[in-house]
Structure 1
Amino acid sequence: MSQGPFLEAKNLRVGYGGRPVLEDFNVSLQYNEVLCLIGHNGAGKSTLLKALFGLVPLEQGAITLEGKSVERPDPRELSAAGIALVPEGRGVFPGLTVAEIMKLGFWANNIPVGEQSARLEWVMGVLPMIKRFYTQRAGTLSGGQQQMVSLGRALLSQPRCLLLDEPSIGLAPKLFQDLAGPIRALQQERKMSILIVEQNVREALKISDRVIVMKSGQLIREGSPEDFSNNTELMELY
């Protein structure tokens, strides 16, 4: 019997103020897979990630995690189950130092005091650049540095699944490459599942196993990164 998906959403309806953004939406994320989700602004990509992490309530449909139904997705419970969200816009507190942000991460993920030092060392091994600005306030950091902090905070829980919402926003292509490389290496080493929403399609395809395209709350196309190598076709999807 083949192994089912790690995370799956069936017949989702999600919206704001009575207006649906996603309607009868289905998506699955396999074990040990990087799934890239692309589409125009307003297609519902970020809403999907928020729904999967329990930040937006489901109006209809179901989410299953490793084959078990999650009736009311809750961020704390999903975090405990090994899922981490890196939100769009980085979400770091500008007035706090990187060290203080990491302490908040320990608290949010219920990491015992005795394990915190080892967790931090592990994160620094994945993203060694953080050591250079560990004592600085997040508001003084560049966009790329803030993105590393946001990712590092998410990795403190040593998640089995990462939901990444547009990590390249505000970053030069080279900086996104610097971030994408360690993410892919970590994913392959730990057999993680990653769902990445990304506008920098070219770079995202390089680290993906499968691609889905959204338009106006619907999934309109699916394939391998090679299927989307034609730049003209890709632009037409937008």
Structure 2
Amino acid sequence: MSLTNFLEAKNLKVGYGGRPVLDSFSVALAHNEVLCLIGHNGAGKSTLLKALFGLVPLNGGTILLEGQTIDRPDPRGMNAAGIALVPEGRGVFPGLTVAEIMRLGFWANGIPAGEQSARLDWVMSVLPMIKKFYQQRAGTLSGGQQQMVSLGRALLSQPRCLLLDEPSIGLAPKLFQDLVGPIRALQQERKMSILIVEQNVREALKISDRVIVMKSGELIREGTPEAFSNNTELMELY
């Protein structure tokens, strides 16, 4: 295995209730790479992210982090290793204010009290719009604002790797651009690795270094964004 890979899955077998979703699936995410994962609904994209983060158990296969095998991946361990997941559907608590959600993020990430203010200032420098609705309840925010909160909470840990599960859901194209622009800038500044699952192919390709296409739990195509930009056959998957 090349040491350029940050996160790698080999021959993963994952399923629900005895029904396989991924069968002998392999993928690698390099250091300092934005890898875009696209495919139809039910292709297994979200299941892959959950398996990589330890939210669903493996029925077989291996996950490696910087060349080291992770025997039983779990969210706390993966988070401690520098990996953060931004789940599909944003996952914010509608009854809590943004400030309260961030305090929960401090606790979940084990960030010492003495570091919390500086960490929050850093997140606000990446996503300054959050300042405008910091005291509002999440349930009163727009979809784009909620997505910023979800991303901001994930960034509190200053991760080395982001797993983004369909961040554009429910967002107008302009709002998605406002979100992914800072993500790409941050990635380039900090040399982060990002695996982004996305249905908004056109916008996702703009920030990606490499693209893989899934269909029915299998990797069916791989290449640079340029290779897919005018691919009519690819667009028919949607």
Q: TM-score range by the shorter chain?
A: over 0.9
Identify the residue that residue 131 of structure 2 maps to in structure 1: 131
Contact 1:34 1:193 in 2 (8 A): yes
8 Å CA contact 2:14, 2:57 repeated in 1: yes
Partner of 2:218: 218
1:69 counterpart letter in structure 2 = T
Q: Aligned equivalents of 2:2 and 2:170: distance in 1?
A: 41
What is residue 5 of structure 1 aligned with on the other side? Answer: 5
Distance 2:45 2:213 in 1: 9
Work out whether 1:175 is the aligned partner of 2:175: yes
- Alignment of structure 1 residues 1-238 onto 2, 5 Å: 3-238=3-238
Q: What is the rounded CA distance, in whole Å, between the counterparts of 1:2 and 1:81 in structure 2?
A: 19
Percent identity, please. Answer: 87
Deviation at 1:237, TM superposition (A): 4.1
C-alpha contact (below 8 Å) 1:39/1:213 kept by paired residues: yes
Root mean square deviation, CA, Å? 1.0
**1:219 aligned partner, one-letter code:** L
The Cα of 1:3 is off from its aligned counterpart by 2.9
What is the alpha-carbon distance in structure 2 between the residues aligned to residue 234 and residue 176 of structure 1? 21
Runs of 4+ with deviation above 2 angstroms: 1-4
Q: Distance in 2 between matches of 1:93 and 1:62?
A: 33
- Number of residue pairs matched by the alignment: 238
Q: Which runs of 5+ in 1 are unaligned?
A: none
Q: 1:153 Cα shift?
A: 0.1
Task: Give 2:161's aligned amino acid.
Answer: C
CA–CA distance in structure 2, aligned partners of residues 97 and 237 of structure 1: 39
Tell whether the 8 Å contact from 2:105 to 2:156 is kept in structure 1 after alignment.
yes
Could you tell me how far apart the structure 2 residues matched to 1:229 and 1:200 are?
13
Map Cα deviations across residues 56-89 of structure 1 (whole Å, 9 max, x no partner): 0000000000000001001001100000000000
The code of the aligned residue for 1:197 comes to V
Matched residues in 2 for 1:227 and 1:235: separation?
12
- C-alpha contact (below 8 Å) 1:4/1:67 kept by paired residues: no
Moved more, 227-236 or 140-149: 227-236
Q: Amino acid of the residue matched to residue 75 of structure 2?
A: P
Q: Counterparts of 2:193 and 2:70 in 1: how far apart (Å)? A: 18
Partner of 2:93, secondary structure, is coil
Unmatched runs of 5 consecutive residues or more in structure 2: none
* Aligned amino acid, residue 217 of structure 1: G
Give the letter aligned to residue 183 of structure 2.
Answer: I
What is the deviation of 1:234? 2.0
Q: CA deviation at 1:236?
A: 3.3
Which amino acid counterpart does residue 134 of structure 1 have in structure 2? Answer: Y
Q: Over residues 7-38 of structure 1, what are the superposed CA-to-partner deviations in whole Å (9 max), with x where a residue is unaligned?
A: 00000000000000000000000000000000
Distance (Å, rounded) in 2 between the aligned partners of 1:45 and 1:64: 18
Determine helix, strand or coil for the equivalent of 1:195.
Answer: strand
**Structure 1 counterpart of 2:83, one-letter code:** I
Contact 2:3 2:67 in 1 (8 A): no
- Paired letter, 1:18: G
Q: Give the Cα–Cα distance (whole angstroms) in 1 for the partners of residues 36 and 174 of structure 2.
A: 19
Q: Could you list the per-position Cα deviations for residues 102-146 of structure 1 after superposition, in whole angstroms to 9, with x for gaps in the alignment?
A: 000000000000000000000000000000000000000000000
Matched position secondary structure for 2:89 = coil
Q: TM-score, normalised by structure 1?
A: 0.98
